[in-house]
Amino acid sequence: MDVTGTVATGFEAARDAFTRNFTSGAEVGAGLAVYQHGEPVVDVWGGYADPDTHRLWEHDTLAALASTTKTFAAGALLLLIERGQVDLDAPVARYWPEFAQNGKGEITVRMLLSHRAGLPSMDARPVTWEDLRDWTPITDTLAAAKPEWPPGTAHGYHGVTFGHLTGEIVRRVSGTSLSEFFARDVAAPLGGLDCYVRVPDAESPRMATMVVPDAEQIMLGMEVPELADMVRALNDPTTLTYRSMFGSVTIDWDAANDPKTYQVESPSMDGVASAPSLARYYAALIGEVDGVRLLSPQLVDQARRPYGDGIDEILRVRTSWGLGFALPGGPMWPAPEQVTGLFGHSGASGSFAFADPERGLAFAYVPNRGSELLEGGDFRVRSLIEALYEGRL
């Protein structure tokens, strides 16, 4: 399978690792992009956007991000914090008064962003497509919810709820939806990024077809020893893990190629992007890209500080959470753990993106073969990141 694109001198190992993922049969279609100090240094793509029709992957092919979408919601809220319109240590209820119900009046924006609010579950009203379309059924449910643990005392992945919790603050403060705010205040200043919380109808033809892992691949993922506790909890409907993941949604992999999945506001799990645009977004979080920088170094330093580190109440493995971004640590982070200061996110679609402020690097990998792991970070992306850091540690 041919790999197309450009690579700057010194980054050839990343391109070679990307090519090996195809030659080994691990990949269907994908894009890989890396920026350094605000300039693109890797921009390669290959394979099929649709393996059934043999439609080729192009430079601007869009693909599902799954949970990597959460970083669009996080970035939007951090931008409001950067502008002084939201205070990190203010109660969420200052901006969303109904949120104070059931003892949640002291939950701060910082707690919410760092997965410490204790609101990971929607099992009282599992999310439907109609709820995503209408938005408020989900935010009303979260406003009325009681925390699963005393807020601020523990951390646990808000896999289904994070996007709506942060997105509602954005909506209340900006007066517009999260998708509209992101498009206007983040994507447009950066030249019109192909990064979408909700995909405009006109862009749908560029979407790659998701290739869902088969039962054998998923079983291999479930047999990773470090994930044993999580797997056991996911198979027990009485656990908070199950209630917060499988028990909180009515939508599954069967909807991965239904266009309507991406035409609603689903900021926890259904955004899309092209690899070059996703890398450009991360590059603008940590430095100037064509004169645009989204966050100050001071706020970036806060975003990549660990606020919750240790055994995750939901995933039952070690995780480390900054402000809306995952940090190195534990089996869900597919990067050398000795490289500190990174922040990013993975998704079950196989996608992964991160920024490394010390080295000025921004990395984005967007495939269309879903990961066999629940939240991504599989061997394909691990091999790419290891190659990127060859000679840079």
Task: Please say whether the beta carbons of 273 and 65 come within 8 A.
Answer: yes
Task: Name the residue among 64, 21, 368, 62 with its Cα closest to residue 203.
Answer: 62
Q: How far apart are the C-alpha atoms of 39 and 34, rounded to whole Å?
A: 8
Task: Please say whether the beta carbons of 355 and 283 come within 8 A.
Answer: yes
Q: How far apart are the C-alpha atoms of 294 and 336, rounded to whole Å?
A: 26
Q: At what angle do helices 70-82 and 162-174 cross, to 10 degrees?
A: 40
Task: Please say whether the beta carbons of 73 and 198 come within 8 A.
Answer: no
What stretch of H or E contains 82?
helix 70-82
C-alpha distances out from residue 296 to 96, 288, 329, Å = 26, 10, 25
In the set 67, 114, 320, 383, the catalytic residue is: 67
Asked if 67 is an active-site residue, the reply is: yes
Q: How far apart are the C-alpha atoms of 357 and 369, rounded to whole Å?
A: 29
Question: What are the residue numbers of the active site?
Answer: 67
